[in-house]
Structures are given as structure tokens and as C-alpha cells.
Structure 1
Amino acid sequence: MTKVPSITLNNGVAMPQLGFGVWQVPDDEATATVSTALEAGYRSVDTAAVYENEKGTGRALAGSGIPREELFVTTKVWNTDQGYDTTLRAFDASLERLGLDRVDLYLIHWPMPDAGRYVDTYRAMESLLADGRVRAIGVSNFLPEHLERLIGEVGVVPAVNQIELHPQLQQTDARAFHALHSIATESWSPLGQGRGLLEVPTVVAIGRKHGRTPAQVVLAWHLALGLVVIPKSSTPSRIRENLDVFGFELDEEDMAALAALDEGRRLGPDPATFTGL
């Protein structure tokens, strides 16, 4: 079974560098899909309240037979639950759906800066951390200016910022800010949601060079940059393929060619304005 390397978060907690994302996996399919991922060797699973598949994910975790201490479970508080008390209630509900007594990483899903509630939301998460109900806390889709305000007003620097990141949106400035503050960068839509990235001639050519698929090349690029990456798939063969990325390394020429693909183009919403309400 593939041994996935871990990174050490800024509070000393170890997090697998490659995990399994369940965005857009229906709850009634999540148990089988997550079970397949766990059987393949994944030990980190990323879900969220708004995905509406925490119950199915929890059933897979419970039925896996894998000791809880070997699993790393992430979930997120949704925009409509931001605020101190509402975040605490939302966390309790997520925990119940997952069937767990703690989660390893709890994230604010979007900053919603115009609502002005993310600092209070994060303070609730700090209390969960202090109570031992979460092992690490962080954010998702935060821009550097949101992080600057947050860090200036709270006591615990976020352990993770999970952002859209792939070769066509490389987020260089955000990654530099994260590195300056010892915040791990986690990539969502790491394969560009399949919208052409895996057919780009550069990616295909590097895959041929190494005898690997385009998806494996892109995931290896994330890992080489020190990013945490959470590919998603419901296809068992692709679930296994996405984990089989540790037997080769991209060279400097490969990395330079992939760096040249950056277009600064988002596939998802703009964090400065998105509310998702």
C-alpha cells in the first residue's frame, strides 16, 4: 500500500500531503466512494457541511476498521453559519453527522468579507481547539488581506488555507504570504476540474516522458511544491491512480514548463465577493 508523506502544520500536527476530496459526491454514494479511497490507501478525507455528504463519509470511516488515530478528517463551516454561537452549533451538527468525537482540521469555508463575521467565526474555532474537539483550525478561500486582518485579531495563526490552485492558477502571491506565516497551502480543484488542463500538450508530453498520466503529472507538481492536495474522483481506477504519484519525480525542466502554464484564471468564485448564500 502506498505510504503518503505528511507535512507538519504550524501547531505540530501531522497532516497527510495527499488526501481525498468528496465535493459533489452525493451522500448516498459517499460511503462506497470513501470506502474505496480508504481501501486504496488514503488516510485523509476532506468534506464540508455544504457538501451534504458528512453522514455518508462518516459511515465509511466507521466501517473501515482503520484506527481513528490513523485518519485525518477535515470539514468546514458554511457561510450561513458564520458567527460565534452559530459556528459552535454548526460544528456540533457536523460532528454528529460524521459520527466522530473530534475532527482533525476545521476550516471556515469562505471569508465573506462584506458580512464581517469571519473573525468571530474563527474565535469560536479557537475555543474548539482549546477544548480538544479539533486538532487544528484554518480557513479556505482566504485572500492575503483577509488573512492579515485575521492574524491581527486572533491568537492562533491558521494552520491551513485551502484555495483553488492548479497549474493554470498558481497563486504565487498567496503561497508566498502563507510561507511567511507558516500556513500550509492546500489545493482544491488541483486538476483544474478537468476543464482542458489534462489535455494541455505540455502536461501530456511530461506524462509520456515519465510513463505517467497527465493527472499524475499535475499531482506530482503540487507535491513537489510542498502543497497539500485533495483530488476527487468517484471512479475506483482514478481514485487509485491519483494516489500512485510517489514513484517518480519531476525534474527542473518539467517544473519550469508547468510554471509557464499559469494564466491567473479562476474556475471557481472570487473570494473577494462570493457569498454562496
Structure 2
Amino acid sequence: MTIAMPLLGAGTFRLKGEDAYNSVTMALNAGYRHIDTAQVYGNEQEVGTAIADSGIARDEIFLTTKIWMDKFGKDAFLPSIRQSLQDLQTDYIDLLLIHWPLKNEEVAMEDYLASLKEVKALGLAKHIGISNFTVAQMAQAVSILGADEIYTNQVEVHPYLQNRKVVDFCRQHGIIVTGYMPFAYGDVLKDETIIKIADKHDASPAQIVLAWMRQNEFVTIPSSTKQANIESNMKSDAVALNSDEMALIAELDRNHRKANPDFAPEWD
């Protein structure tokens, strides 16, 4: 059975070894059923072991991984996915993403997206999608695959970087927006507006940000190594922001981008 991607997932970016295992274990125990990893995180084995050890049926968990840029070539693409499946101890990925578009087009987008589609055709991935694609790159991907094939674009989204052009394009084409780094490494949790709204709701600033993400229909994947934070994030579902509060948070947008490596595309 294919399950819809839960709006709140547990991210594993920057988590290594025991930290990755413990974080996923705590998340699953707290009720998370959406886990996000990537080849380049170097933690697929720990994520896979945590899922296996949890005793939760595989088809109850929505598992995402991402293929790294050095595996985009035809010869490396499929073998790298088979390695990810082995490390994750599973026969299939719920969602497989292209982690970053290639800036230099060393491998043509047509070619690596064709490989991505092949993985889905083989039944190794239930859904396929993209990550860190600009509007122009999304338009190119849509022309290659068709919008129906692109399940999500995973991009940086938080109150300080609302990425509206990318979000608008996704919504026009029925592509889910997955926002990573929802707290901007904690920057937005110190924001006076967020703190005031949190106080009013007797909630944490993190819960307010997650409620804002949810009410905007963004999927989001915060990561944490602290059980209290993992459990608190899960309880953000109980927070409902009114339209005035949503509008106040919408005004916080300031193009405050945290993920901008030298291989990043020219952002919108």
C-alpha cells in the first residue's frame, strides 16, 4: 500500500552514527511515520536499523532518501539506489529525490531524470521528486517528466525564507512543497513575533513555526537529537493559528537563506 506523505516528518540532516539511530528511534516512538534521509548524509544504515528495530510495519512508514550528484551518471545511478535499499534494509523507497540539480550539466537533466523514472518503473521507489530546484529548473523537469511524476520539490522554507516564486510554481503544477530547515537553525525561534504568538498559545516557538508550515500545507522535516523537542514538535498539530497570526508570520520573510553551497543554482 502507498501511504500519503505525512506533513510532519523527522529529518536526519547532520545526524551521524548513534545520533541518527537514536533520533529516528525517538521519532518513531513519538508517533512520527515519515523519515527523511539522503545518501550524502552518511546515515542510511543507522536509519534503516532504527526502522527495523522499531518493529513498526514497513508499510506504515513513509521513507524518503535522495541521490547525490556524483551518482547521476547512468552507470552509477541504479547501483547507488540498490546500495541505499540495502543500507536502509528495505525493498523500496517511498520517495526518491534528486538531491541537487547539477549546475554544470555534466550529466544532462534529461538523462538523470530518465534514470529516476526508471527506478520508479522498477518498483524500487513509489514516488519520485526533486530537491533544491529553481522555477526554471522545475519547468525543465516538468517538460521532461510531466508534472504528475514530480511528487515534491524539497526546498528551504521557513518564516524568514518563504520562497514564494518556487511555492507558487509548485502549487500551479500540483507539486507538494517540502520545506527543510523550518527553524533556520534556530534563528526564527528567537523572533519576537513568533515568541509573542507562542506565549499567547501557551506553545513553544517551534510549535508555532510548525503550525504555520502545516496551515500553509507545507510538508516539513525538522531534525533533533532531543526527545523533548521531538515529542513537542509532534504536538504542534494541536496548535491552530488564526488568520491575523498567519499574516504576521507571512510578513517576516527576509530572504534569509541558510543552505547556499557553492554548487547551488542561481536562486529565484
Shared fold by TM > 0.5?
yes
Equivalent residue for 1:101, pick from 91, 107, 121:
91
Residues 3 and 60 in structure 2, CA contact (< 8 A), matched pair in contact too:
no
Gaps of 5+ in 1: 1-11
Q: How does 1:154-165 map to 2 (within 5 A)?
A: 154-155=145-146, 157-165=149-157
Equivalent residue for 1:230, pick from 221, 231, 235:
221
Gaps of 5+ in 2: none
1:29, CA displacement in angstroms?
A: 2.4
Match of 2:185, SS?
Answer: helix
**Aligned partners of 2:74 and 2:113: how far apart in 1?**
8
State the match for 2:212 in structure 1: 221
**Aligned partners of 1:36 and 1:68: how far apart in 2?**
17
1:154-176 alpha-carbon deviations (Å, 9 max, x no partner): 35531100000100000111111
Residue identity in the other structure for 2:55: G
Equivalent residue for 2:120, pick from 113, 124, 129:
129
Q: How does 1:1-277 map to 2 (within 5 A)?
A: 14-117=4-107, 118-155=109-146, 157-194=149-186, 196-269=187-260, 271-272=264-265
1:220, CA displacement in angstroms?
A: 0.5
**Aligned partners of 2:217 and 2:174: how far apart in 1?**
12
**Aligned partners of 1:253 and 1:93: how far apart in 2?**
48
TM-score (norm 2): 0.94
Residues 140 and 161 in structure 1, CA contact (< 8 A), matched pair in contact too:
yes
Residue identity in the other structure for 2:141: L
Aligned length: 262
TM-score (norm 1): 0.91
State the match for 1:5 in structure 2: none
1:13, CA displacement in angstroms?
A: 5.3
Residue identity in the other structure for 2:129: G
Residues 3 and 59 in structure 2, CA contact (< 8 A), matched pair in contact too:
no
Identity within the alignment, %: 36
Structure 1 consecutive aligned stretches of length 4 or more whose deviation exceeds 6 Å:
none
1:165-210 alpha-carbon deviations (Å, 9 max, x no partner): 100000111111001111000010011111x211110000000011
Residue identity in the other structure for 2:73: G
1:192-244 alpha-carbon deviations (Å, 9 max, x no partner): 111x2111100000000111000100010000000101011001110111111
State the match for 1:4 in structure 2: none
Residue identity in the other structure for 1:78: W
Match of 1:16, SS?
Answer: coil
Residue identity in the other structure for 1:163: V
Residues 112 and 273 in structure 1, CA contact (< 8 A), matched pair in contact too:
no
**Aligned partners of 2:130 and 2:168: how far apart in 1?**
16
Match of 1:150, SS?
Answer: helix
**Aligned partners of 1:203 and 1:29: how far apart in 2?**
29
**Aligned partners of 2:144 and 2:203: how far apart in 1?**
46
Match of 2:63, SS?
Answer: strand
**Aligned partners of 2:48 and 2:181: how far apart in 1?**
23
